[in-house]
């Protein structure tokens, strides 16, 4: 089995992938971006991929949600990964000399308070580990990377400040994706749906949510995304706390379809806390 993840070495995605697939014979495929991971799975270069989809501070990672549809992928597992971000510098750099921080967009967003308070400039990279590697490869002492403890160790960088995220209770939700649709195979605890209203009318989202309320199905994630077909048209990602084997979930899908909505099941899965 070949598993793709957001690389290079030292990324949170790599750590999550190694921990989740620890008991599986595998070949690794590190990728340069989230889109590259999804594309690798979609085009068959990898059997499975692991990508972040939501952070407890920053919210949904839209490129992942959109990529599920672009590459026709299914979710087979959800991973909750605790994230602690650190400010990494060259060994002899002074914290007071730092004027610019480098990292992936979600990590920069999770550390807004430190960036704002210290009036730091930012530079975006495709991963936390690529930012750390870039700091290692240059001679400047006024730049730092926001990355993991593993990245500091891997690239020989100094942790100038630990736990710099805005909220100590910082978690990232990863999903494991594949081309295989196995939603009906086993009992699961969650289901992700894509609901596309065929008509745009006042209260359409409310009417959709009322179906789940009436059936006592708890929803854990709701995200609207543009359909990219016409300005002002949206579809909705909805995650329900029931597997597709559950009769209430089957009934919810049937009712939504009877209302004229297009409903796609993007996955039925368990949650794993790493």
117 assigned to active site: no
Dist. CA 137–CA 1, nearest whole Å = 33
| Rounded CA separation 14/20 (Å) | 10
Q: Which of 81, 207, 241, 240 is nearest to 150 (CA)?
A: 81
Alpha-carbon gap, residue 255 to 157, rounded angstroms: 56
Choosing from 64, 89, 128, 172, which is the catalytic residue? 172
> Which position among 74, 81, 174, 212 bears the catalytic label?
174
Separation of alpha carbons 67 and 61, rounded Å: 10
Q: Half-sphere exposure (CA, 13 Å, Cβ side) for 152?
A: 19
Measured in whole angstroms, how far is the alpha carbon of residue 133 from the centre of its chain? Answer: 22
How many other C-beta atoms can be found within 10 angstroms of the C-beta atom of residue 77? 19
């990219």: which residue's tokens?
228
Q: How far is CA 28 from CA 8, 71, 112, 209, 210, in A?
A: 11, 20, 33, 40, 43
Told to judge if 174 belongs to the known catalytic residues of this protein, a careful annotator would answer: yes
Give the integer Cα–Cα distance in Å for 220 and 20.
Answer: 22
Distance CA 244, CA 268 (A): 6
CA distances to 18, 54, 75, 166, 259 from 62, in Å: 24, 9, 15, 21, 27
Q: What is the Cα–Cα distance from 88 to 148, expressed in whole angstroms?
A: 9
Active site (catalytic) residues: 172, 174
């Amino acid at each position: 089995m070949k598993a793709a993840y957001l690389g290079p070495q030292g990324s949170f995605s790599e750590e999550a992938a190694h921990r989740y697939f620890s008991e599986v014979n595998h070949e690794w495929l590190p990728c340069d971006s989230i889109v590259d991971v999804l594309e690798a799975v979609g085009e068959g270069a990898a059997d499975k991929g692991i990508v972040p989809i939501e952070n407890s501070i920053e919210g949904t990672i839209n490129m992942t949600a959109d990529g599920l549809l672009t590459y026709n992928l299914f979710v087979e597992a959800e991973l909750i990964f605790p994230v602690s971000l650190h400010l990494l510098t060259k060994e002899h750099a002074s914290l007071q000399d730092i004027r610019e921080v480098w990292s992936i967009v979600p990590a920069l967003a999770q550390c807004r308070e430190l960036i704002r308070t210290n009036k730091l400039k930012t530079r975006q990279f495709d991963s936390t580990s690529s930012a750390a590697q870039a700091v290692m490869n240059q001679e400047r002492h006024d730049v730092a990377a926001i990355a993991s403890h593993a990245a500091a160790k891997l690239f020989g960088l100094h942790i100038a400040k630990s736990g710099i995220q805005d909220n100590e209770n910082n978690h990232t939700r990863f999903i494991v994706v594949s081309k295989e649709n196995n939603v009906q195979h086993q009992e699961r605890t969650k289901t992700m749906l894509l609901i596309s209203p065929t008509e745009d009318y006042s209260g359409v989202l409310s009417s959709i949510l009322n179906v789940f309320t009436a059936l006592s199905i708890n929803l854990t994630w709701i995200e609207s995304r543009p359909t990219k077909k016409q300005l002002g048209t949206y579809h909705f990602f909805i995650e329900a706390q029931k597997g597709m084997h559950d009769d209430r979930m089957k009934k919810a899908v049937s009712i939504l379809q009877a209302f004229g909505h297009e409903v796609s099941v993007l996955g039925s899965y368990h949650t794993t806390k790493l």
